[in-house]
Structure 1
Amino acid sequence: MKINLCETNLDGHHNVYLENLLNIDNTSKMFIDTKIEMSKKRIFKYIFDRKKLMKKFLLKENEIYHLLYLDMLYTYFPLIPLNRNKIVLGTLHFVPNNKIKIILLKNFAKKIDLIIVHSEILKQSLLNLGIKNVEVIDYPSFYDYSKIKETKDELKKKYKLEKKIVLTALGGTRQDKGLDIFLEAFKYLDNELKSKVVVNIAGKEENFQKEFIRKMSQEYNIELREQYGFLTDEDFMKNILVTDIMIIPYRKIFGGNSGPMTEAIVNRIPCITPKGLNIGYLTEKYNLGLTFECENSKDLAKIIAKMILNIEKKQILLTNYREKLTVETFLKRHKEIYKNLKEGEYK
């Protein structure tokens, strides 16, 4: 059976995700570049746009259709099964907490064969909602670090970070990613500890602009290394490799996985993440670092101090979770699921 990989966005990680799945036999790219009305005030157009898109995707019978970004599509309210004479599955990256979206997701889930999520806690969240047709495939690292010829020590020397513990916040400076929570934590750290660290911020300026970041850094006596704007793959990997502690201070509204966290795990870098979120659950279950009370800068400061002490004592991060995050495992699991769908295992 032909496997149609359906996508509406080829930016950044969307394209990398798609291109890797195309390495599976019998897969084919089905890209539809479309602008979907997002205004909730225009609810009928909001639904109609999605209905029109679904009709474009689900063209032929006796084929598999994999909706790679289900988050944008489940808000279409289908009245009949979408998998009639075909197999339809979708990958859901976030579980909603909005009541209306939950209703729409539950209805959509009944009309398709399977939903894939990228962590056990997201699966459990769906099970709690009564959605049973769920499988987990961990989100992998798609980066090839062998392309970076410098060692960690060489990179730290190059960037004048030697003899410093590098705390990194990586990616766009969006509000939901909590950069302000991280910077405010320095209000509660003593100057001796601050003198040991450099805060490494790399990514596109979004909600928090560099003027705001620099103002907070001056107020709380934070030594900064900044790299604003689009990061090439090489830039991204180098920022990972110079890191000693990955700080992921996301707010409660963030319900998915973290790309920087995945890369940190693959490179045996400890993470600090919020309790109660998916990423905090993973941290605690697989011994990936330490957790703090979500959106609490004072508690984050306490955990940063504890982690720095662990680093100074050379306590090693002990986890084999990184083995789940390879592209090989990612593709193997998709192959298994496609095979099981063809054989009717999920009926």
Structure 2
Amino acid sequence: MGKILFFDTSNGGHHFYYNFAAMKGVIGKLHEIKCCYASPEISGNIINKLEKERIDVYQVDVNIKHVPQILQRIVMLIKLLYFAKKRKYRRIHLFYLDGLIIPLLFVWPLIYLFHVQITATLHWFPNRKSKIIGMRFLLKQKVLSKIIVHGDYTRNLFVEQLGETYNNNKINCINYPNLHPIIKNNIDNDSIIINELKELKRPYILCFGGLRFDKGIDILIKAANKIKEVDFTLIIAGKEEYFKRDYLEQLIKENGLEQKVYLNLEFIPDEMVSSYFNISDMVVLPYRKYFTGQSGPLTEGVIRKKIIIGPDNGEIGFTIKKYNLGTVFLSENIKDLAEKLIKSIKNIHEIRKNIYDSQDNYSKMIDSEVFETKYYDFFRK
């Protein structure tokens, strides 16, 4: 297998946890392999983790400001390719293809010229027609030799676009893993949150993660306003992004939910992630329709046997329905989300019993060791 150069445009959020687990899976089983991780911003803490696993580091320096992001990414890819040529890396894996489809269309002649094999991970099926056409070109012209997706929903969409011949050799399915295994020594962290919630009523409904527009926290708050007949507390935990504190506090006030919402709009440190899922009763994923990927909070909730409430479309809806992990609602439909929340609250014990075995089975599928082994198999072929 020789040498592999891994690349991501970001190490924020869940990116590095995912990337690190994948690289450990490859290098842990192939001690003779040489790996390098490339990214534009790599902290000292990340460098230390990589070096402990014998993974080299290349910081892709892009000193161009006030230019479109697409141009920055084209420059990153060019630098990456020249680095690979200089250091004799014949294989590059792009961990986040989603933001690199169009940039790759500008640099593919260099890939041919340098005789580099490119593989990649695509986290959700493209919504833009230009990206779908771009993916078709990159795969059919073998600019991308093969890719990883995170579920049968996405793989099936690609087969529809490209034909059945791409089903097994070009499009490989690896389930999105649980990246924060249940921590047994975090009782103190659990207690901290429980103490802050002691005046608020169960069930605790968790919406976790950075507040991007596509995650639909505004939809959830408006749906919560319609829940009148049962008690609940909505926990919103995640860093401000598109949605800011002032807007959310105003929206909560307008919907009369001041006594029913717990807000923590800070970055949640790794050691606290498990605690939020441990103390919650349900995990809700109010994504907008255009998001078709998989969800980290879904995996965190499933391994802790929490009821999952998610949209009926995309990889999330497909997964919840196929593996019986909870219930789905019509995406972006405030009324239907409210009805599904009420039904889940009223029947919480029955639902837990009904989904327990299927959640247990799915937990085994998304175990980090299974994930690492599948990444190893992907590169071994």
Give the shorter-chain TM-score range: 0.7 to 0.9
Segments of 5+ residues of structure 1 without an aligned counterpart are 341-347
Q: Under a length normalisation based on structure 2, what TM-score does the superposition of the two structures give?
A: 0.79
Which residue does 1:236 correspond to in 2?
273
CA contact (8 A) 2:193 2:276 kept: no
| Higher relative contact order, chain-length normalized (CA < 8 Å, sep 6+) | 2
From 139, 144, 152, the counterpart of 1:112? 144
CA contact (8 A) 1:87 1:112 kept: yes
Taking a change above 3 Å as real, the CA distance of residues 335 and 28 of structure 1, as seen in their structure-2 partners, is same
Which residue does 1:344 correspond to in 2?
none
Question: What do residues 296-315 of structure 1 show as CA deviations (whole Å, max 9, x unaligned)?
Answer: 00000110011112214464
CA contact (8 A) 1:155 1:242 kept: no
Which residue does 1:301 correspond to in 2?
338
The residue identity in structure 1 corresponding to 2:36 is K
Distance 2:209 2:250 in 1: 20
Secondary structure, counterpart of 1:253 in structure 2: coil
Question: What do residues 260-314 of structure 1 show as CA deviations (whole Å, max 9, x unaligned)?
Answer: 1110011111111111221011111100110001100000011001111221446
The reply to whether residue 271 of structure 1 matches residue 308 of structure 2 is yes
Secondary structure, counterpart of 1:12 in structure 2: coil
1:124: how far off?
1.1
Which residue does 1:252 correspond to in 2?
289
Mapping of 1:68-107 within 5 angstroms? 68-75=95-102, 76-77=104-105, 78-79=108-109, 82=112, 85-107=115-137
Which residue does 2:93 correspond to in 1?
66
Which residue does 2:217 correspond to in 1?
179
Question: What do residues 201-260 of structure 1 show as CA deviations (whole Å, max 9, x unaligned)?
Answer: 111122222233223323333211111111101222211111111110000121211111
1:104: how far off?
1.4
The residue identity in structure 1 corresponding to 2:96 is Y
Taking a change above 3 Å as real, the CA distance of residues 51 and 238 of structure 1, as seen in their structure-2 partners, is closer
CA contact (8 A) 2:190 2:275 kept: no
Question: What do residues 91-132 of structure 1 show as CA deviations (whole Å, max 9, x unaligned)?
Answer: 111221211111112112232211101111111111121062
The root-mean-square deviation of aligned C-alpha atoms, in Å, is 2.9
Which residue does 1:158 correspond to in 2?
195
1:69: how far off?
1.6
Taking a change above 3 Å as real, the CA distance of residues 165 and 291 of structure 1, as seen in their structure-2 partners, is same
From 219, 222, 233, the counterpart of 1:198? 233
Which residue does 1:207 correspond to in 2?
242
Distance 2:89 2:252 in 1: 58
Which residue does 1:130 correspond to in 2?
162
